[in-house]
Structure 1
Amino acid sequence: MASQDRLTDTLIRAITIAPAPQPAAPLLRVDNLSVSYGRQDVVHDVGFELGRGKSLALIGESGSGKSTIARAVLRLLPNGARASGAVQFNEQNLLALPERRFRPLRGRQIGFVPQDPGNALNPVRTIGVQAMEAAALTDEPSVAIRRALILDTFAKVGLDNPQRAYDSYPHQLSGGMLQRVLIGLAVLPRPALLVADEPTSALDVTIQKRILDLLSRLQHDLNISLLLITHDLAIAAERTDTLVVLKNGVVQEAGKTSAVFSSPSSAYARKLHADVPALNPDRYARLRETGLRLHRTEEAPKIEVSAVTKKFTVDGKVLTAVNDISFAVAPGTTHALVGESGSGKTTTIRLLLGLEEPDSGEISVAGEQVSGRSRESLRAVWRHLQLVYQNPFTSLDPTWTVEHLVREPLDRFKIGTSKERAEQVRQAIANVGLDEHLLTRKPGALSGGQRQRVAIARSLVLKPDVIVLDEPTSALDVSVQADIVEVLLSLQARLGLTYVFVSHDLALVRQLAHTVSVMQRGSIVEHGTVADIFGNPQHPYTASLLASIPGGIADPVRMTHPKPRQVFRKEQIA
């Protein structure tokens, strides 16, 4: 910890020019900024101010212009883009500066943390080699001192073993570690402004909290101004001083975070507020419970997982991916598997789908044993057990039309005549709220929400009893996510579907699921009804997950004198 705390002093010693006294003018001021790509206007007359050491969030859905504004500030707009207005940084109009005068500012005075660390780092070069490029921006001539600065920075951003990170290639580090690396490289030259573009959108909730805590701490310690781009109003409300709400490139609302958060004046800001799961945990309570009451005719569990263990051998070492887990799912309900990356969620659903064989234990779906069957025999199970993947863009063949994609399961199982299949496809897309005119489109011509609806329609066309949902909304904006959740719960209420919902987003689990199993290192550390788990967590790991949710829906005071709770039984969700 001592080496981490030395970062600020070390950086100040390495940079010979002392920071100037803070002027009255804001560090960043955007006036009447408009941006167009060819003939398409994407940003219209946007304006805001960001003071020194302060934080501002740009809020909005995909296509709202958030990232375009950030690229305009960073002078990273693509060829052919046109920007007008003014972007004043330290009272210099960045849009009017020639490239040779702006280049010294990028990195040194204006830092950038991109959304996807996997694409931001060169996969064939070590982290250390790439970090040396950032260290060069300090103008420190000594390679040894640059290396020391890098290691100190890595320690400061919470990498437990800075030397290991320095020597590693990107693929050898987790997503959370890579994001810390990128933040470290961005703050290493001690910029005055840090632009963070959705820096936590793909991370587990606990890692997300650590990254956001890190950004807040560095902002305070180094007096850095933070321009945060996010679609999550809960994160913005918790982490920034001011908000700018955007829709279709137009400012809908702007002001102090507390004011916009507590009393949004625009209809769009109110909708964003309503769509954030952490801020509205009971939004779908009536729909969820209606479906539960309508479909409680069967007594036997639809899914039973009993004492299942699965081990893998990696580099000569035996790793236990799933360790003696058991749970049951009642018909017409949603059971969530939650936990951080590496907790065993994905292995569990692969076992449930018959894609892996357990070393011990039994799995049954609708009374049919899944384990120990041939692949041909599993086809009968798969007819009633379908999967919706995390990323529909990669799970859907980009060369096929929507009609072909949704019809394919019917073709494979040879169900009905050609006319009957066409009618079932139309019914499936109608069930998920898509229009028939989309049948001729390919995935690339659809929005993210439309692609996910196609993936759900494809899983529904065989009329299965059980659908496994593997992070089905993690890549979607909160508003699109809300639409998908409503579709899923409406279908469950109408058709009596049983869901297994895999997620690291506990706020979404609170909205969607009836029961939940919390997984850590391959074991289920706690399970029960959602109301019990969220209202009275028994395990410290569960409490830490709940405490990491932006806008916090867990009450840590309840952990002081926890009430005893029995293991989940089917009758508890009546």
Structure 2
Amino acid sequence: MASPNRLIATPRRDDIEAPSLQPATPLLRVDALSVSYGRQQVVSDVSFALSRGQSLALIGESGSGKSTIARAVLRLLPNGGHATGRITFDGRDVLELSERRFRPLRGRAIGFVPQDPGNALNPVRSIGAQAMEAAALLDEPDDRVRKQRILETFAQVGLDHPQRVCDSYPHQLSGGMLQRVLIGLAVLPRPALLVADEPTSALDVTIQKRILDLLTRLQSELDISLLLITHDLAIAAERADALVVLKDGVIQEAGRTAAIFASPRSAYARELQADVPALNPDRYRALRDPGFRRRDAGATAKIEVRAVTKTFAVDGRTLTAVDNVSFAVPAGTTHALVGESGSGKTTTIRLLLGLETPDSGTISVAGEQLSGRSPATLRAAWRHLQLIYQNPFTSLDPTWTVEKLVREPLDRFGIGTRKARNAQVRQSLADVGLGEHLLARKPGALSGGQRQRVAIARALVLRPDVIVLDEPTSALDVTVQADIVEVLLSLQANLGLTYVFVSHDLALVRQLAHTVSVMHRGRIVEHGAVGEIFDHPQQPYTRSLLASIPSGTTGRVSPSRPRAVVTADAPG
């Protein structure tokens, strides 16, 4: 009987030319893999196989063990990590090899694309210098030939000016270009297996699609096997032949992508599917419906941005970051600003928050004009206008307790007695679904979802009228993201809050927002109700953004490659 956590991929019989009907030997085979750190076991009895030219996705939320499995394959477990079982790559047991014998495989035969190019590349060395280090893996002694191979590979991954890229430093390139550089460096030695760890999680939706298309194309052209690590089931459904669904280091379900996507057997896989915004655009319709929302009789909070323009001087020339932007947000609703990086979204919210002064135009919140006011007079307005930052891992002081973090705004504004402040802190935590037992904890002792709830409680403690949400869930898994979205919409329904939501996740915008402005090069190119814009976009730019949303369509396998047939006996 097959192991309950075993995933076996073999070619279909009708895809194999007669007379051979024997399944191909997998390039990568993982058998009964367990990984522990000291006494804590984080991966338990995981098995799967990946054939040449095929793709397999490990999916699950943070802590599910997917990145640990990838590190075990790459022999990059941190100190204290211990792996048992078998990992067979091209017929060799990886775990049995010494580091000296395995090192020639890492990089040459097994490539790796990390999640964050900002941390993966040295900021004080040029791209070309770092690329030459990667080229040392080539069996080519001539530096001129190595450099030519680098330029050819950069062109292959879609970098239009390879020499200019080589001459640049990481800070001079966009996030999408940096990710292409990492992919180029990974495929430069033409590895047989490419491990991609959340390669698009921090990118705009259009850049995400280009990077995923690039990986799919390279996989086909170079006959590379792809081990994709992601928490997004929609991406996995589009890009992988097979899936392994992990939770707490244990396989919950494994098999052909189309089969799992069409009819997930495990409760956890069904939960993941339900939490993907692209697959469930109307999940929060009841909460989002303005008719459901209780409005306070005196609630007049709204936002009006009228003909706002902002320019900056950059390298001796004038850059228009925001160009004649206008929109209005009715009280108790959510307005989204969407667009690629550099579209003007961030500058717009900095103007709204009074952190920048517009060159022209006016901004008012709850009838009070903000533009042109001094910081001293803006302070009173900030009590009613709060910001929730993008990353809960960096927006909270790691040395402060939860109680101090949430209470600080009350202390700064001198609101109420100490007893009243403490009571308000506890109420704000309860509003976001957190208990008093967390008051004494510091951010390092909280999960990502708990940290973001603390950030929301901190913004909520002053009882503001307007909250600006700057990519509030981009650093979170889809399951945690779903919890945070429900908290935000419930708070809006109960308190009549007005939100300005900045995001590159258009599927999430459709779930959460009532109205949307599409920004491109500092201008609003399309504006209106979310349903109308998403269902009937008028502008080519808007259509291109919407076309980049992962649809979750399965079976996108190149006709030149045989499909994988997967049998699975995972629990569920």
Q: TM-score under structure 1 normalisation?
A: 0.91
Counterpart for residue 455 of structure 1:
455
Is the partner of 1:294 in helix, strand or coil?
A: coil
How many angstroms does 1:24 deviate by?
Answer: 2.1
Is the 8 Å Cα contact of residues 293 and 496 (structure 2) preserved in structure 1?
no
Report the Cα distance in structure 2 between the residues aligned to 1:208 and 1:462, rounded to whole angstroms.
Answer: 37
Counterpart for residue 248 of structure 2:
248
Counterpart for residue 521 of structure 1:
521
What are the residue-to-residue correspondences of 1:271-420 with 2, within 5 Å? Answer: 271-289=271-289, 293-295=293-295, 302-420=302-420
Deviation by residue 1:188-242 (Cα, 9 ceiling, x = unmatched): 1000000000000000000000000000000000000000000000000000000
How many angstroms does 1:160 deviate by?
Answer: 1.4
Deviation by residue 1:23-74 (Cα, 9 ceiling, x = unmatched): 8210000000000011110000000010100000000000000000000000
Counterpart for residue 14 of structure 2:
none
Report the Cα distance in structure 1 between the residues aligned to 2:111 and 2:351, rounded to whole angstroms.
Answer: 44
Deviation by residue 1:341-383 (Cα, 9 ceiling, x = unmatched): 1100000000001111000000000000000111110011101
Is the 8 Å Cα contact of residues 301 and 498 (structure 2) preserved in structure 1?
no
Counterpart for residue 261 of structure 2:
261
What are the residue-to-residue correspondences of 1:179-258 with 2, within 5 Å? Answer: 179-258=179-258
Is the 8 Å Cα contact of residues 291 and 493 (structure 1) preserved in structure 2?
no
Report the Cα distance in structure 1 between the residues aligned to 2:91 and 2:399, rounded to whole angstroms.
Answer: 50
Q: Which amino acid aligns with 2:458?
A: R
Report the Cα distance in structure 1 between the residues aligned to 2:283 and 2:293, rounded to whole angstroms.
Answer: 18
Report the Cα distance in structure 2 between the residues aligned to 1:436 and 1:169, rounded to whole angstroms.
Answer: 47
Report the Cα distance in structure 2 between the residues aligned to 1:404 and 1:475, rounded to whole angstroms.
Answer: 23
Is the partner of 2:439 in helix, strand or coil?
A: helix
Report the Cα distance in structure 2 between the residues aligned to 1:301 and 1:463, rounded to whole angstroms.
Answer: 12
Is the partner of 2:341 in helix, strand or coil?
A: coil
Counterpart for residue 52 of structure 1:
52
Counterpart for residue 568 of structure 1:
none
Q: Which amino acid aligns with 1:473?
A: T
Q: Which amino acid aligns with 2:35?
A: V
Counterpart for residue 6 of structure 1:
none
How many angstroms does 1:552 deviate by?
Answer: 6.8
Report the Cα distance in structure 1 between the residues aligned to 2:291 and 2:136, rounded to whole angstroms.
Answer: 60
How many angstroms does 1:301 deviate by?
Answer: 6.9
Is the 8 Å Cα contact of residues 57 and 230 (structure 1) preserved in structure 2?
yes
RMSD of the TM alignment (CA)? 1.4
Paired-residue identity, %: 80
The runs of at least 4 aligned residues of structure 1 exceeding 4 Å deviation read 290-293, 296-301
Number of equivalences: 532
What are the residue-to-residue correspondences of 1:61-140 with 2, within 5 Å? Answer: 61-140=61-140
Is the 8 Å Cα contact of residues 291 and 494 (structure 1) preserved in structure 2?
no
Deviation by residue 1:513-541 (Cα, 9 ceiling, x = unmatched): 00000000100000000010001000111
Counterpart for residue 570 of structure 1:
none
Is the 8 Å Cα contact of residues 292 and 332 (structure 1) preserved in structure 2?
no
Report the Cα distance in structure 1 between the residues aligned to 2:387 and 2:179, rounded to whole angstroms.
Answer: 30
Q: Which amino acid aligns with 1:165?
A: V
What are the residue-to-residue correspondences of 1:367-516 with 2, within 5 Å? Answer: 367-516=367-516
Is the 8 Å Cα contact of residues 292 and 333 (structure 1) preserved in structure 2?
no
Report the Cα distance in structure 2 between the residues aligned to 1:518 and 1:211, rounded to whole angstroms.
Answer: 22
Is the 8 Å Cα contact of residues 332 and 497 (structure 1) preserved in structure 2?
yes
Is the 8 Å Cα contact of residues 286 and 292 (structure 2) preserved in structure 1?
no
Is the partner of 2:265 in helix, strand or coil?
A: coil
Is the partner of 1:41 in helix, strand or coil?
A: strand
Report the Cα distance in structure 1 between the residues aligned to 2:313 and 2:292, rounded to whole angstroms.
Answer: 41
Counterpart for residue 564 of structure 2:
none
How many angstroms does 1:294 deviate by?
Answer: 3.1
How many angstroms does 1:100 deviate by?
Answer: 1.3
Is the partner of 2:31 in helix, strand or coil?
A: strand
Counterpart for residue 162 of structure 2:
162
Deviation by residue 1:266-303 (Cα, 9 ceiling, x = unmatched): 00000000000000000001111056653396897700
Structure with the greater relative contact order (CA < 8 A, sep ≥ 6): 1 or 2?
2
Q: Which amino acid aligns with 1:285?
A: R
| Distance change in 2, residues 1:159/1:485 (3 Å) | same
| Distance change in 2, residues 1:487/1:320 (3 Å) | same
Counterpart for residue 565 of structure 1:
none
| Distance change in 2, residues 1:291/1:40 (3 Å) | farther
Q: Which amino acid aligns with 2:492?
A: Q
